[in-house]
Amino acid sequence: MALPLRDTLITGDRVVLVPPRRSDYDEWASLRTASRDYLERWEPLWPGDAHSKADWTRRLKVWTAAWKEGRAYVFLIRRMSDNALIGGISLTHVRPWPASSASLGYWLGQEYEGHGYMRDTVSLICEWAFARLALWRIEAGTLAENNRSRNVLEAAGFEEEGYARAYLEIAGERRDHVLFGLVRPQNQS
């Protein structure tokens, strides 16, 4: 189910989720570059031109096309108090009925870790996905040693469902992941 890109805004008490726009480039590149050493260990290998204007333009094109096709929804996370860009979150691999599911991914600038922003953000996007996209299930995976990510998922109600060997490429290597799932509460049917 494709939604209007420009009209989508998800607001919580401390964060607001907004689709990325061309004008976000400088702030996005600055935050990602400042957090590079921290983020690289949790993400797929970065391209040689990571955070260049060309990289941003490619990403926007892919994200916008996926949004319009209802396959993925990428958001930037802004702190409500000052509108600072603090990270990003996405629902990808959106699968229609009968699966009615998606995969969750997220990142946060290193300076914003440990303040509960991602816990709030994950809960917010899951509520939105169940209500607005009519999803029944959201899946997420985390490296076994990433306790912060595990804590975020568990705080949002995700349950550990299994272990997947060589699940994703992270920092240039195939890595095992702990898999989590969240099923829409029955009262949201």
pLDDT (tens digit per residue) in 134-179: 999 999 999 999 999 999 999 999 999 999 999 888 888 899 999 9
Checking if the pLDDT of 6 tops 80, the result is: no
Say how far apart CA 77 and CA 117 lie, in whole Å: 9
pLDDT given for residue 1 in this prediction: 47
Say how far apart CA 31 and CA 166 lie, in whole Å: 29
Which DSSP letter does residue 47 get? P
pLDDT given for residue 9 in this prediction: 85
Residues 99/83, Cβ–Cβ less than 8 Å: no
pLDDT given for residue 168 in this prediction: 84
pLDDT given for residue 3 in this prediction: 60
Residues 6+ apart with CB under 8 A from 33: 51
Mean pLDDT, rounded, for 20-39: 93
Domain boundaries, given as residue ranges, for the chain:
10-139
Q: Which long-range contacts (CB under 8 A, 24 or more apart) does 4-10 make?
A: 5/64, 5/67, 5/68, 8/73, 10/75, 10/124, 10/125, 10/128
CATH match for 10-139 among 3.20.20.140, 3.30.9.10, 3.40.630.30, 3.80.10.10: 3.40.630.30
Q: Which residue has the tokens 């920092």?
A: 171
| Mean pLDDT, rounded, of the chain | 91
Name the region of 143 (left: φ>0; alpha: ψ -120 to 50; beta: rest): beta
pLDDT per residue over 65-112, tens digit each?
999 999 999 999 999 999 999 999 999 999 989 989 999 999 999 999
pLDDT given for residue 147 in this prediction: 92
- Dump strand ranges (E) for the chain: 10-11, 15-18, 73-79, 85-95, 101-108, 137-142, 159-170, 173-183
Residues 78/16, Cβ–Cβ less than 8 Å: yes
Residue environment code for 1-12, b if the CB has 16+ CB neighbours within 10 A, otherwise e: eeeeeeeeebeb
Cis peptide before 98 (omega within 30 of 0): yes
